[in-house]
Amino acid sequence: MAVNPEEEVVLTEEKGHVKLITLNQPRKLNVISPKVVYLLAHNLEKWEKDEDTKLVIIKGAGRAFSAGGDLKVFYEGKKSKDYCLEVVYRFYWLCYHIHTYKKPQVALVHGISMGGGASLMVPMKFSVVTEKTVFAMPEASIGFHTDCSFSYILSRLPGRLGEYFALTGARLSGGELVAAGLATHLVPLDKLSALENQLVSLNSGDESAVKTAIEEFCLDVQISQESVLHKRETIDECFSKDSVEEILESFEAESKKEGNEWIVPVLKGLKRSSPTGLKITLKSIRDGRKQTLSECLKKEFRLTINILRSLISGDVYEGIRALTIDKDNSPKWDPLTLGEVDNKKLDLVFQPFEEALELNIPENDELRWTGKYEDSVYAR
Q: Which residues are catalytic?
A: 69, 116, 139, 147
| Residue closest to 373 by CA, chosen among 38, 59, 141 | 38
The arrangement of strands across the sheet holding 105-109 comes to 10-15, 18-23, 55-60, 105-109, 126-129, 185-186
**Rounded-to-integer distance, Cα 141 and Cα 261, Å:** 21
Residue 173: strand, helix, or coil: strand
Alpha carbon distance 258, 255 (integer Å) = 8
> b/e string for 216-226 if b means 16 or more Cβ within 10 A?
ebbeebeeeee
Q: Which of 162, 178, 48 is nearest to 109 (CA)?
A: 178
Task: Count the neighbouring beta carbons within 10 Å of the beta carbon of residue 230.
Answer: 13
Strands (E), 54-125: 55-60, 105-109, 112-114
On whether the CB atoms of residues 68 and 118 are closer than 8 A, the answer is yes
SS3 content of the chain, % helix, strand, coil (to 5): 50, 10, 40
Spatial distance between the Cα atoms of 59 and 207, rounded to a whole number of angstroms: 19
Q: CA Rg, the chain, in Å?
A: 20
Sorted by sequence, the CB contacts under 8 Å of residue 354 that are 6+ apart come out as none
